[in-house]
């Protein structure tokens, strides 16, 4: 339902390099949060409370040699901070659901690399201990099985290597006489079916399509996915936008 609303809005961004997509999304989300916070809180009061907290923090530093007085000031600081947090909670209620929905879109489009047409990929079935018997996979037209079709179940992981043409498919697995399915998308676009399908039926734990995780930024060997990149960018944007809009 919500994908039908968000996809037409955000999917055009996927034509851009992934770094630009995350940067733009981080800016949009931070801007929305900042503006909602700005107009749903009493900024005069927030400024006053923030000023009080700074004064109390300075006073605590000066009272390090007087523990009892410092504890009293610390108590006042905590009370002031609680007032600040309670007043800011209203904006959180306004932004919570929209941001969760946008995060869901980002997880569904930016967390993994797509499986490309003609690219070998693996599918893994994770089993519980003690499962015996045989297993095989049935692939639809358009998908080619690169590895052996049949498996003897002798460990907790079964893997098959596949290759396919562009399209959306459903793979069928027979594990110890039980049938399971998993959808898959093969495309040149930044799109993929959810790589992990939990099962948990006392035989199979989950079925994976082993998409590689998306690396958005590689900072001197520190490889960041969309979430880590978003957090860093949102902190930078938040500091800038709060100063620009004079948000306290």
Q: Which of 201, 19, 184 is nearest to 110 (CA)?
A: 19
**Whole-angstrom Cα distance, residue 246 to residue 88?**
15
Backbone angles phi, psi at 180, to 5 degrees: -135, 160
pLDDT given for residue 2 in this prediction: 61
**pTM strictly above 0.75:** yes
| Domains observed in the chain | 2-111+223-244 (no CATH), 121-209 (2.60.40)
Name residues whose C-beta falls within 8 Å of residue 183's C-beta, 6 or more positions apart in sequence. 168, 169, 170, 171, 193
Backbone angles phi, psi at 176, to 5 degrees: 50, 40
pLDDT given for residue 1 in this prediction: 55
pLDDT given for residue 90 in this prediction: 82
**Whole-angstrom Cα distance, residue 2 to residue 202?**
33
Q: pLDDT tens track of the chain, all 248 residues?
A: 567 788 999 999 999 999 999 999 999 999 999 999 999 999 999 999 999 999 988 888 888 888 888 888 889 989 999 999 998 888 888 888 889 999 999 999 999 999 999 999 999 999 999 999 999 999 999 999 999 999 999 999 999 999 999 999 999 999 999 999 999 999 999 999 999 999 989 999 999 999 999 999 998 889 999 999 999 999 999 999 999 998 99
pLDDT given for residue 134 in this prediction: 96
**Whole-angstrom Cα distance, residue 194 to residue 107?**
9
């Amino acid at each position: 339902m919500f994908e039908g609303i968000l996809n037409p809005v955000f999917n055009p961004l996927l034509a851009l390099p992934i770094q630009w997509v995350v940067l733009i999304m981080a800016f949009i989300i931070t801007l929305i949060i900042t503006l909602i916070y700005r107009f749903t809180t009493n900024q005069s009061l927030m400024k006053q409370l923030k000023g009080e907290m700074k004064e109390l923090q300075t006073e605590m530093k000066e009272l390090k040699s007087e523990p009892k007085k410092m504890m009293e000031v610390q108590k006042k600081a905590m009370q002031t901070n609680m007032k600040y947090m309670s007043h800011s909670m209203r904006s959180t209620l306004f932004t919570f659901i929209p941001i969760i929905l946008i995060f869901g879109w980002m997880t569904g489009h930016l967390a993994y690399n797509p499986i490309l047409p003609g690219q070998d990929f693996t599918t893994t079935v994770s089993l519980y201990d003690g499962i015996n018997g045989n297993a095989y996979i049935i692939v639809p037209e358009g998908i080619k099985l690169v590895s052996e079709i049949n498996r003897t179940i002798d460990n907790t992981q079964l893997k098959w290597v596949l290759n396919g043409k562009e399209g959306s498919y459903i793979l069928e697995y027979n594990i110890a006489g039980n049938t399971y399915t998993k959808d898959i998308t093969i495309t040149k676009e930044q799109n993929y079916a959810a790589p992990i399908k939990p099962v948990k039926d006392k035989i199979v734990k989950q079925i994976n399509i082993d998409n590689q995780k998306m690396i958005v930024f590689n900072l001197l060997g520190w490889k960041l996915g969309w979430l880590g990149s978003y957090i860093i960018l949102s902190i930078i944007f938040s500091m800038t936008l709060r100063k620009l809009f004079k948000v306290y």
